[in-house]
Amino acid sequence: MKRVLLTPMEEFRHRVAQWARRLQAQPRQIMVMRMTRKWASCSTRGRVCFAYDLLKVPPRQQDYVIVHELLHLRLPNHGRVFKALLAAHLPDWQKLHDRLGR
């Protein structure tokens, strides 16, 4: 069986879809765009935007940003519950966050 090679964008979108299923999050729209100040954003209407530069970082760091933003669809703040959910899915989230910068 031939293995299909995906572009970095296709791989990233696949990761987002996998995490959305796992977290039971339902983003209305997912965009990858040029962003210079942050890695991603999430609107109250369910639109999740990711920085194009995120395609260049290691997959585990991508996971942190993906999970972080998808959790915002459920919790709009960075309180204790948000951080507990983040830690439940990515125990090393703080280290991943620190490596990313921005």
CATH classification of the domain holding 55: 3.30.2010.10
Tell me what pLDDT residue 3 has.
73
Q: Which two tokens stand for residue 101?
A: 């910068």
Tell me what pLDDT residue 6 has.
83
Is there a domain that residue 58 lies in? yes
Residue with tokens 């709009």: 76
CA 69 – CA 100 distance, rounded (Å)? 15
- From first CA to last CA, the distance across the chain in angstroms is 42
Higher pLDDT, 101 or 20: 20
Is there a domain that residue 2 lies in? no
CA 23 – CA 86 distance, rounded (Å)? 10
Tell me what pLDDT residue 71 has.
97
Is there a domain that residue 3 lies in? no
Is there a domain that residue 64 lies in? yes
Tell me what pLDDT residue 20 has.
97
- The arithmetic mean of pLDDT across residues 78-94, rounded, is 96
Strand partners, 33: 51
- The arithmetic mean of pLDDT across residues 10-24, rounded, is 96
Inter-CA distances, 46 with 60, 87, 98, 102, Å: 23, 22, 26, 23
The yes-or-no verdict on residue 1 having pLDDT over 70 is no
Q: How many domains does the chain have?
A: 1
CA 100 – CA 54 distance, rounded (Å)? 9
pLDDT category at 102 given cuts 50, 70, 90 is low
pLDDT category at 101 given cuts 50, 70, 90 is confident
61: domain range? Answer: 8-100
The dihedral through the CA atoms of 42, 30, 53, 91 has a sign that is: positive
Is there a domain that residue 1 lies in? no
